[in-house]
């Protein structure tokens, strides 16, 4: 079982809550699962499940994201 330091990811200025972390992680996991041409390949090794890979990328600051305005 992979043990990730989720608190480290929550302390990032652009994440700031576990709810936002779960949304970002699930969106990245979906990107990894669907594998389109323009999808960034996994940036960490040693994990098998897409959600674990996505969360590890966030914990290790391997990926960046932008928020969209919903207005």
66: in domain: no
The count of domains in the chain is: 1
Q: What is the pLDDT of residue 29?
A: 93
Q: Give the pLDDT confidence score for residue 20 in this predicted structure.
A: 87
- Domain region containing 38: 6-59
Give the residue among 61, 63, 45 at the shortest CA–CA distance from 8.
61
Cβ pair 58, 15 in contact under 8 A: yes
Report the predicted TM-score, pTM, of the whole model to 2 decimal places: 0.78
Residue 27, in any domain of the structure: yes
For the segment 20-48, what is each residue's pLDDT rounded down to a tens digit? 888 889 999 999 999 888 888 888 888 88
69, part of any domain: no
Provide the 8-state DSSP code for 67.
P
Residue 70: inside a domain? no
3-state secondary structure of 59: helix
């Amino acid at each position: 079982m992979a043990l990730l330091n989720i608190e480290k990811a929550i302390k990032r200025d652009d994440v700031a809550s576990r709810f936002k972390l779960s949304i970002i992680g699930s969106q990245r996991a979906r990107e990894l699962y669907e594998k389109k041409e323009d999808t960034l390949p996994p940036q960490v090794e040693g994990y098998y499940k897409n959600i674990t890979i996505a969360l590890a990328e966030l914990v290790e600051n391997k990926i960046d994201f932008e928020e969209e305005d919903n207005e």
